[in-house]
Amino acid sequence: MLRTIFITLTVIALTTLSVLAQSLTEKEVIIEFKTNKGTFIVKLYNETPKHRDNFLKLVRNNSYDNIIFHRVINGFMIQAGGNVLKGNEETKTQLEEQHKETLEAEFMYPKLFHKQGVLAAARVGDDENPEKRSSSFQFYIVTGKFFLDHELEKMFKKKGLPLPKEVKDVYLGKGGAPHLDGEYTVFGEVVKGDRVIDKIQHTETDDEDAPIKPVYIKSTKIIDK
C-alpha cells in the first residue's frame, strides 16, 4: 500500500516538474535595445529556437554594444550588424570573421511572416547560399509599406505560397515586406518603441543606404515581462 502511494506521489511530482520546465522553456524572451535614437523592446519567438538561442547568446555576451544600423531603407527595413561605431573596412572584416557561422533557416510561414515590426535574420544571396541559411549576427526589423489586395494575390501566386486571409488582412492593415516570406527567417517582433523604429527609418542616408549620422545600439539586455 505504502509502495503504491509512494509511486503515485513520485509520478505526480515528476509530471509537475515536467510541466513547470515546459512552461519556463515556452516563456517568451524579451530583449531591450538602447540606441542613440531611443529604446525599443522585442520579443523572441519560441517557434524558431535556433535563432532565439543564438540571439540570446549574443545579447548575454554584449555582442551588440556599439554596433551600427548600417543599412536603412525607409518603407522597407532597418538592418544592424555590419560594423561597429566609428569602424572601418578592417573592423568590418573582423566582425564578419568573428560571426562567420550561419544558422539553418527556420521558416514558419504562414504562422510567422514579414509584417511591420518583425525581427528577422539577414543573409547572403541565393547564388552563394541556396539553402537560405541565416547570418548568425546581422538582423533587420521590417518597417514595410502597404499593399493592395490584387498586388498581394499576384505576389504570392508568383511565389507559390498560400495567402491565408489572416495574413492578407495584416498586410493590408499594417503593412510589411511580403516579398521576403519564405526567403528569410522571422524570429521575433517589436513590442514597444515603434516610434524609435520609425525615427531610425527616417534617418538621412547616403547612396548606399547607410545613415549619414551614425545610428547605433548602445546596449542590449534580457528583461522580465
CB atoms within 10 A of CB 180: 20
Kindly tell me if the per-residue pLDDT of 150 is higher than 70: yes
The per-residue pLDDT for 18 is 43
Tell me which fold the domain 26-222 belongs to: Cyclophilin (2.40.100)
Q: Quote the crossing angle between the two packed helices 149-159 and 165-174, to the nearest 10°.
A: 130
How does pLDDT run across 65-105, given as a tens digit for each residue? 999 999 999 999 999 999 999 999 999 999 999 999 999 99
The bridge status of strand 216-223 relative to strand 29-35 is antiparallel
* Domain edges within the chain: 26-222
Average pLDDT value for residue range 162-191:
98
Prediction pTM value: 0.88
How does pLDDT run across 28-63, given as a tens digit for each residue? 999 999 999 999 999 999 999 999 999 999 999 999
Strand partners, 32: 41, 221
Q: How far, in Å, CA of 180 to CA of 105, rounded? A: 13
The per-residue pLDDT for 191 is 98
Residues shown for the chain: 225
What percent of the chain has a predicted confidence (pLDDT) above 90?
Answer: 87
Q: How far, in Å, CA of 205 to CA of 211, rounded? A: 4
